[in-house]
Structure 1
Amino acid sequence: MQLQREHHPNQNAITAYGDDYIEINLVRYVNSIYFLPEGDVHPLALRSAQEITSDELDRITGLDQIQRSPMDFLDDVQPSKPEHAPELIVLGTGHKQQFLHPAVTQRLLSMGIGVEIMDSQAAARTYNILMSEGRKVLAILIQENP
């Protein structure tokens, strides 16, 4: 299904999708990927939503780069969200919506990063809407390959 007739090369717009692919700026991807409205499209070595871990989400969002002092707990200092971190993650879990265990997204939510989970085609449409509104949204799209 074609989503957008025109594309803007400086923004990652989902231009089409099908049962076994996703197309970003007219480039077809058949494996799992993640990307922001601007920048590179990154491959993910995941074939199902059940493979997603909190460590993987920390890596993708940059939360793994937060430096904390070992003494922060004494003053109840909470780390702040990195400037480059997304405000929202749209997670497409393949052909069907598959919720993650709450522990997997707990850190993201505590840092103020929203997480919306839906099937990959709904995630593609939602991402395009949020991206066109200028939101700092991260798309994670799982392609279920046999």
Structure 2
Amino acid sequence: MKFQPDKSNTLTVTGYDRDWIAVDKQRYEHSLVVCSNGTLQPWNCNSFADLGPAHFAQLADFDVETIIFGSGNCLRFPPPAWLAPLIAQRIGFEAMDTPAACRTYNVLAGEGRKVLLAAVVEWPAG
């Protein structure tokens, strides 16, 4: 019986809090796009309110099966019209809060799936 997890060569979310995400133990305090193929780049938004159709059109350029959208500190959905480029490419889309999105990304990436995490990192008000 095997007790240790399989070693994955994909990028892994190794931690998160309300205002940061760690990918492979490197901490980021801004929104990110993390792809199981090894792509890691900033996502140009500081909050859910900053998002627009261009943010989701950008995601359609990645060669993935599924996009896991982390909407920030609470669950929010983008307007359906913004997802048209993803639908045209037949890319699956799931929205959840960012902590849940990080966990879901890790599971799917660990299974070898072609998955992308688009995570909004928001600084708490105050």
Query: Which range, TM-score by smaller chain?
Result: 0.7 to 0.9
Within-5 A mapping of 1:59-78: 59-62=58-61
Three-state SS of the structure 2 residue aligned to 1:42 is strand
For residue 14 of structure 1, report the CA deviation from its aligned partner. Answer: 0.5
Q: For each residue in 1:28-73, what CA deviation from the matched residue of structure 2 results, as whole angstroms up to 9, or x when unmatched?
A: 01110102013231012202223322322222331xxxxxxxxxxx
Letter matched to residue 22 of structure 1: I
**Could you tell me whether the CA contact under 8 Å between 1:123 and 1:141 is conserved in 2?**
yes
1:28 alignment partner, SS class: strand
Letter in 2 for 1:42: Q
Q: Which residue of 1 aligns with 2:99?
A: 121
Name the counterpart of 1:139.
Answer: 117
- Alpha-carbon separation, structure 2, partners of 1:22 and 1:50: 19
Q: Is the 8 A contact 1:47 1:143 kept in 2?
A: yes
In structure 1, the residue corresponding to 2:104 is in which secondary structure? helix
CA distance in 2, matches of 1:7, 1:98: 33
Distance 1:91 1:7 in 2: 25
CA distance in 2, matches of 1:21, 1:98: 18
Q: Root-mean-square deviation (CA), in Å?
A: 2.0
Specify which structure has the bigger relative contact order, considering alpha-carbon pairs within 8 angstroms and separated by 6 or more residues: 2
The worse-fitting range, judged by mean Cα deviation, of 53-62 and 34-43 is: 53-62
Give unmatched runs, 5+ long, in structure 1: 63-83
Distance in 2 (CA, whole Å) between partners of 1:42 and 1:14 is 14
Q: Distance in 1 between matches of 2:116 and 2:76?
A: 18
Using structure 2 for the length normalisation, give the TM-score. 0.85
Counterpart Cα distance in 2 of 1:51 and 1:86? 24
Identity %: 32
Counterpart secondary structure, 1:99: coil
Q: How does 1:14-93 map to 2 (within 5 A)?
A: 14-62=13-61, 85-93=63-71
Aligned to 2:69, the other structure's residue is in SS state strand
Aligned residues: 120
Gaps of 5+ in 2: none
Normalised to the residue count of structure 1, the TM-score between the two structures is: 0.74
Q: Which structure's CA Rg is the greater one?
A: 1
SS at match of 2:10: coil
